[in-house]
Structure 1
Amino acid sequence: MAAVVKLIPGRTVFFVCDIQTRFRTFIHGFDHVVATGNKMLKLAKVLDVPVIITEQNPRGTCSHAPRSTLGRRALAACAKPSFQPSGPPLHLGTFEKTAFSMAIPPVTALLKQHNFKSVVLFGIESHVCVQQSALDLLQLGYDVHVLADGVSSTRSQEVPIAIARMRQAGAQIVTSESAAFELQTDASKDNFKYFSRLIKEEAERTEQALEVLAAPASKL
């Protein structure tokens, strides 16, 4: 019988993989990836979940547009929620990288320092940086949860194949809302009204992201 892998409140970190402005015109459903990413950052504040962000070679050039730099991240600053978490620092760091995987030394050092067990992973591209990050993190012994409505690639056809590869390797494929409720765990908690309000505010964008991003990801 296979072991049940669950998100662990207090030992979970959100990994934001290379959501950068220069990819906007090349990534399938890019605005939906950004919408999911922004929702997860808002949820991170309400749920007290730390965040690690990477940027893929922001001073380098993009293979799809060699005369343009990749640029900085496209996520907006989060609106300050009414509920103020009191746990660990939300933003543990933003790291530039040339490696495709997010599992670079300063990031893995943070994982060990904070004794994390679960990683919620989203960003781009599904079949490159997201996939290599997932495989490396799994190999290091972390539970990896990939958001089906929070990842994409330049070609939509790449996404379901990458999702299948990560699932086969042991990653959990979940949706942003499923992950959020798993971390919330209980409607009796003090933060629930803020959590519930945020889920309702994001409902339309969540539905759109599921339709554009998660539907192709469920083909295999």
Structure 2
Amino acid sequence: MPLLNLPNSLLLVVDLQARLMPAIHDGARVVANAARLLEAGRLLAVPVVVTEQNPGKLGPTVPELAGLPPAIAKMSFDACAEPAVLAALGGDRDIVLCGCEAHVCVGQTALTLLECGRRVVVVQDAVGSRAPESRAVAIRRLAAHGAEIVTTEMVLFEWLRTAAHPQFRAVSKLIR
């Protein structure tokens, strides 16, 4: 099914960390869209998995994303190399992916998930890189390997499916 299915979705937030984000091109927009996804996920009971790359050096997840589940620390760029991440992702949910950097940790994680047969949905306006061209090339590469490329607004409205959803007003306010 091409549309996202709310009960089968999981949001994976990769490395949106305090010391990294100032270097990310348009980082404030990436964080704002990740926050929208997280708030919609909270309202709609979407499970969330969070990673932090080398948190001793890059610090914790940005404070704008407070209230997340505890982050899983990792040293590998590919989050799938961390057994705790794989365990948290489970075996069959669609992975809605946001975070940094598109061409490193997000990219390697997405490619491994695709290789494992998972459906990967990359939220283009909620992923970032230091250089815009690195992000653009990563998005093209991920799409070429089977990742679906969407926007934050697409995810929110596919999770809702209808204006009759009990959380419609609360979720739609996130994009105004």
TM-score greater than 0.5 by the shorter chain:
yes
Q: 2:62 aligns with which of 74, 95, 98?
A: 74
Q: Give distance in 2, aligned partners of 1:13 and 1:57.
A: 23
Q: Which runs of 4+ in 1 moved over 6 A?
A: none
CA contact (8 A) 2:13 2:97 kept: yes
- TM-score computed with the length of structure 2 as normaliser: 0.92
Q: Secondary structure of 1:126's match?
A: coil
TM-score, with length taken from structure 1: 0.74
SS in 2 for 1:76: helix
Instruction: Work out which of the residue numbers 9, 15, 22 in structure 2 matches 1:12.
Output: 9
Q: 2:85 aligns with which of 107, 121, 126?
A: 107
Which of 84, 88, 95 does residue 119 from structure 1 map onto? 95
- Tell me how far 1:27 sits from its aligned partner: 1.2
Give me the identity figure in percent: 37
How far is 1:140 from its partner? 1.5
- 1:27 alignment partner in structure 2: 24
The letter of the residue matching 1:190 is P
C-alpha contact 2:35 2:64 (8 A) present in aligned 1:
yes
The alignment of Structure 1 onto Structure 2 pairs a total of residues equal to 175
Bigger proportion of residues as helix = 2
State the AA in 1 paired with 2:64. A
Which structure: larger Rg?
1
Write the mapping of 1:181-192 to structure 2, written as runs, cut at 5 A: 181-192=157-168
Partner of 2:172: 196
**Unaligned runs of at least 5 residues, structure 1:** 60-68, 80-89, 201-220
**Structure 2 unpaired stretches of 5+:** none
Give the letter aligned to residue 13 of structure 1. L
Write the distance in 1 (CA, Å) between the matches of 2:115 and 2:49.
19
